[in-house]
Amino acid sequence: MTTRTWTGLMNVVPMLAVLLVGCGGGASGPAPSTQPIEARAGARDVQASGNDLPIIAPDDVQKSQSAAVFQRVANTDIEVVYDRPVARGRELFGGIVALDEVWNPGANDATAISFSRDVTVNGEPVAAGRYSLWASPGASDWTVIFSTAADVYHTPYPGEELDALRLRITPQRGNHVESLAYYFPMVEGKETELRLHWGETIVPMLITVP
């Protein structure tokens, strides 16, 4: 092989490699995105705690700590932001939470739920926006309330005149959950189920998006 032929081959090989990568040769799927994760569709804004924050003494940690849960259904975003009271061996419903009285299922600031588009909850329409969540536990059924008073404290209840929706829901029983939780156990097509779960009581809400 002449020096000229060898030099020509060395020039061709890198070009073939570029073509193979561009055409997906040797790859099992699409090339990874080079877009920053914070700019990708579906990414959530996350604030890092950072080491510059002060260390909290155990006695100063708030008793009901903050949490949030997010679910995208098709192109509708649903988010619940709340604080999590802890059972600590207490009787919950009919105990520290009175039956047949309106209560905020959370602590500190009232639990808030937001929808980026109009949805239905258990078949009832709810407009896009942000709401506070309230509930009146009963011996057999619960009343769950979506209030347009979105950014309020967990007491007092803002009043019926600000209600956007009231739902009558029969709770289910499940495994004990020590700290109150909201979660989405199912998402399929254009439906998801949001559950309120504390102790052995589960309050399910079926959310359908357009």
pLDDT tens digits, one per residue of 101-116? 999 999 999 999 999 9
* Residue 1 counted as domain residue: no
Contact present, 184 and 69 (Cβ < 8 Å): yes
* Residue 56 counted as domain residue: no
* Residue 18 counted as domain residue: no
- How many domains are there within the chain? 1
Q: Name the residue range of residue 185's domain.
A: 63-208
E-strand ranges in the chain read: 65-73, 76-84, 112-115, 119-121, 124-126, 129-137, 142-147, 163-169, 172-188, 191-208
Token look-up 């769950």 returns: 144
Residues 6+ apart with CB under 8 A from 108: 62, 64, 66, 83, 153, 154
Using alpha carbons only, give the angle 103, 104, 106 rounded to the nearest 5 degrees: 135
* Residue 90 counted as domain residue: yes
Contact present, 191 and 207 (Cβ < 8 Å): yes
Q: Which residues are 72's β-sheet partners?
A: 77
* Residue 156 counted as domain residue: yes
**Of the candidates 130, 140, 117, the residue with the CA atom closest to the CA atom of residue 201:** 140
Chain centroid to Cα 113, Å, comes to 9
Compute the Cα dihedral for 121, 127, 132, 134 and give only its sign.
negative
How is residue 25 annotated by DSSP? T
List of the chain residues with pLDDT < 70: 1-50
* Residue 40 counted as domain residue: no
d(CA 127, CA 121): 10
Q: How much is the pLDDT for 52?
A: 76
* Residue 3 counted as domain residue: no
* Residue 27 counted as domain residue: no
The model's pTM = 0.75
d(CA 106, CA 21): 52
